[in-house]
Amino acid sequence: QQQVKQSPQSLIVQKGGISIINCAYENTAFDYFPWYQQFPGKGPALLIAIRPDVSEKKEGRFTISFNKSAKQFSLHIMDSQPGDSATYFCGGSQGNLIFGKGTKLSVKP
Amino acid sequence: DAGVTQSPTHLIKTRGQHVTLRCSPISGHKSVSWYQQVLGQGPQFIFQYYEKEERGRGNFPDRFSARQFPNYSSELNVNALLLGDSALYLCASSFRPQGQPQHFGDGTRLSIL
């Protein structure tokens, strides 16, 4: 049973544009929702995270929007840069992390 | 400050062999989790340890085992290796086992021939 569904699988955005990645979860016991960024050959790096009692969290160019009733959350990357090109994973946690399958983002100069 | 460190970085084994992977958490972190990441997929949860006790186990066979030491470092052991065990094995640490950011190491790349 896949508990976290992530879309799209891949995304191409022009430099300066907005990248949007969506996730839907099933387990209402999740109490923590992180986003990770992973470059080839590296482990996932925590980007930003949100708890279900908050509807939005912004850190620099990165924003999480959270809709508890719809069991959905999304990552917005404003002013996308070529250096943002990486694979992004959403997750849900009540202890152990359940990850989505990932979105490969390519930002074209 | 040092992040999560894992050793070795790469490992090549043959089917049927045994492997031990090691992880040192961030200083002060008492919870360690292990994940398996197959190419092109998200990491899958294997084990979580907190204060040397197993707190959770994912859907992996009994060939997989782990332990946590008094200094909070951890080992993941895999017996009777199969070709399908080829993956990146990631370790993550956090202050506590729930509701806390997990910080990952760069993993051990295990290849089974």
Count of C-beta atoms within a 10 Å radius of residue B68: 23
Task: Search chain B and give the residue with CA nearest A91.
Answer: B42
Residues 18-37 of B with CB under 8 A from A: 33, 35
The whole-number pLDDT of residue A89 equals 98
**Partners of residue A43 in chain B, C-beta under 8 Å:** 4, 90, 104-107
Report pLDDT digits (tens) over B47-84. 999 999 999 999 999 999 999 999 999 999 999 999 99
The model's confidence at residue B2, banded by pLDDT at 50, 70 and 90, is confident
d(CA B55, CA A91): 19
B92 touches chain A (CB under 8 A): yes
Check pLDDT > 90 for residue B1. Answer: no
Considering only the beta carbons, identify the residue of B4, B40, B45 that sits closest to A97. Answer: B45
Report pLDDT digits (tens) over A57-74. 999 999 999 999 999 999
The model's confidence at residue A109, banded by pLDDT at 50, 70 and 90, is very high
Average pLDDT over residues A68-88: 97
The whole-number pLDDT of residue A3 equals 87
- What is the distance in angstroms between the Cα of A67 and the nearest Cα belonging to chain B? 18
The distance from CA B8 to its chain's CA centroid, rounded to whole angstroms, is: 12
Cβ-contact A96, B100 below 8 angstroms: no
Task: Search chain B and give the residue with CA nearest A102.
Answer: B42
A37-62 burial string, b = 16+ CB within 10 Å, else e?
bbeeeebbeebbbbebeeeebeeeeb
